[in-house]
């Protein structure tokens, strides 16, 4: 069987040459933009995670505040019920004969309800303080969430600008993408240090 001869065309030579090309022949501009895009994508992912985490914690603390507000309301209702019983006992003492057994019982009830109301009031005030604390934590975390979301948006815009820069090879566009990326990183830093 005769040996077949292989004829290489110009295309085959170009493919072979591209396969053997050294890395220093690669486009440095494209390589630089690819690395910058990868770094920005990583930073953007971290900012997006922090944004979601801050939002979830803000919702958690807002929910805790609502639960505590209900508990405080229940305590104040209990306090009011004891106050109404005290008022009825005072009325009973005022309407009964001063030295009668009924008067003595009503006076004892007045003292009992007065004593029972104080711990209920104190507990309601402590719970109300928890409501205020949880609301403050929620607001602070929500503010942080907005900062993280702004950082994520700026980084995403910078990534888009990097992609357009890679296509157009405009240096002013590259510089603009760096400025937007720097603004995103700084906004993320502000969110990180204010948390």
Q: CB atoms < 10 A from the CB of 157, how many? A: 18
Coil, helix or strand at residue 26: coil
pLDDT at 34 over 80: yes
pLDDT for the residue numbered 12: 54
Using 50, 70 and 90 to split pLDDT, how confident is the model at 162? very high
pLDDT for the residue numbered 13: 55
pLDDT for the residue numbered 17: 54
pLDDT in tens, 106-115: 999 999 999 9
What average pLDDT does range 126-152 have in this prediction?
96
What average pLDDT does range 41-53 have in this prediction?
96
Q: CB atoms < 10 A from the CB of 97, how many? A: 8
pTM: 0.71
Q: Do the beta carbons of residue 79 and residue 124 sit within 8 Å? A: yes
| Percent of the chain whose predicted confidence (pLDDT) is above 70 | 87
Using 50, 70 and 90 to split pLDDT, how confident is the model at 195? confident
Helices (H), the chain: 10-20, 28-95, 101-168, 171-193
| Residue 15 token pair | 């493919």
pLDDT for the residue numbered 177: 95
């Amino acid at each position: 069987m005769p040996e077949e001869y292989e004829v290489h065309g110009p295309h085959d030579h170009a493919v072979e040459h591209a396969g053997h090309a050294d890395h220093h022949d690669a486009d440095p501009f494209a390589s630089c933009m690819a690395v910058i895009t990868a770094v920005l994508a990583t930073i953007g992912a971290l900012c997006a995670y922090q944004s979601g985490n801050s939002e979830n914690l803000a919702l958690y603390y807002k929910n805790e505040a609502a639960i505590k507000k209900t508990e405080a309301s229940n305590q104040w209702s209990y306090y009011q019920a004891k106050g109404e019983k005290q008022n009825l006992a005072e009325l009973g003492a005022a309407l009964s004969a001063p030295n009668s057994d009924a008067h003595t019982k009503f006076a004892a009830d007045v003292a009992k309800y007065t004593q029972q109301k104080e711990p209920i009031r104190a507990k309601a005030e402590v719970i109300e303080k928890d409501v205020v604390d949880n609301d403050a934590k929620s607001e602070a975390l929500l503010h942080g969430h907005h900062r993280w979301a702004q950082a994520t948006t700026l980084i995403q815009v910078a990534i888009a600008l990097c992609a357009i820069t890679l296509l157009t090879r405009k240096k002013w566009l590259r510089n603009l993408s760096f400025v937007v990326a720097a603004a995103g990183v700084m906004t993320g830093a502000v969110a990180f240090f204010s948390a």
